[in-house]
Amino acid sequence: MSRFFDETQKAQQRAPQVAEGGRVDVVSVIDAIKQSDTLALEPPEVADVSAGDRQEIERARTATEAEKPVRGPIKITKDDNPLRAQAMEAYGSLRTRVMKLKASKGFRSLMLTSSVPAEGKTWTSLNLAISCAKLHGLRVLLVDGDLRSRGLTRLLGIPDGPGLSDFLGGKATAEKSILPTENDNLFVLGAGSLNGQPSDLFASPLWVEFMGGAIKTYGIVIVDAPPVQGLSDAELISAGCDGILVVVRASSTLREMAKKSVSRLDRKKLIGIVFNGQQSSLDRDSYYGYASGNSDGYGKDNGSR
């Protein structure tokens, strides 16, 4: 298990020393509470504190907890719109193909990208994660790897606080950055506050180490990555992922643009292409996704519908 996913807290490193005779410096304890996310000394270790001092310590801890922003669980919007129901059925089909490839190739992490913005990769990442989380016993981690646009973070309304960029910048732990959702099997990691250039952050060994730890904790990790064109982020992110899905917007993405994007990615990791924005029988503008079973490159897939 990666050290970044070790939930064991080392509170004693931040705890004030107990004075001789078992007396506790109450002021130091209160100061430690205000500066830390955990109580500096657990009650059994407080050997000789008066009732009044105990009340003061408890008031300080309560006040500190009240000041913390609410960071979860993140709500996932659901509705009974027939268009969404039809779309989720298509994402269920995409999930089935992904799970088959996962079983055959043994990959545990998947990156979704596109050639340019506005091709639907963030919606596809989210809905694929929701669909996967419906499988019994499969814990899913959804990561906002698009640190520049923060599309997934904004879509889910993830509150301010530590996220992926904070972790990669050494300013937060993974435990404090990953948030639960209202679905017990689905967890999200927001973009966080930008700490340096995204390309530099993803070039850090911490990214690959993070993904190595994540796949030991979650059944599958889905990363919403930036578009390929004009940026190096997606190529760097793919180094920590087992598989790559490229989202292509039907009747929008230029063939040559898509071929150029695919050529910049590791072809050994490319597992398929998702055609987004397919015309449905209910509405011309609804999104509809498919995945190729075994892609030889854009326009040459074996098994796409």
CATH architecture of the domain with range 82-302: 3-Layer(aba) Sandwich (3.40)
Q: What is the pTM of this model?
A: 0.69
- What are the tens digits of pLDDT across the range 220-235? 999 999 999 878 999 9
Instruction: Identify the pLDDT of residue 85.
Output: 61
- What are the tens digits of pLDDT across the range 64-79? 544 444 566 888 765 5
In this structure, what token pair is assigned to residue 201? Answer: 């952050």
- Parse the chain into domains and list their residue ranges: 3-67, 82-302
Instruction: Enumerate residues 6+ apart whose C-beta is below 8 A from 16.
Output: 24, 25, 28, 29, 31, 32, 40, 41
In this structure, what token pair is assigned to residue 7? Answer: 């939930």
Pairing of the two strands 243-249 and 270-276: parallel
- What are the tens digits of pLDDT across the range 23-66? 445 455 445 544 544 333 333 343 455 666 666 656 665 555 44
Asked which of 86-95, 129-138, 205-214 is least confident by mean pLDDT, the reply is 86-95
Query: Over the Cα atoms of the chain, what is R_g?
Result: 23
- What are the tens digits of pLDDT across the range 188-218? 999 999 878 999 999 999 999 999 999 999 9
In this structure, what token pair is assigned to residue 216? Answer: 């030991």
Nearest residue to 158 via CA among 251, 73, 273: 73
Instruction: Kindly report the backbone phi and psi dihedral angles of residue 202, in degrees, each rounded to the nearest multiple of 5, phi listed first.
Output: -75, -20
Residue 116 pLDDT grade (very low, low, confident, very high; cuts 50, 70, 90): confident
Instruction: Identify the pLDDT of residue 229.
Output: 84
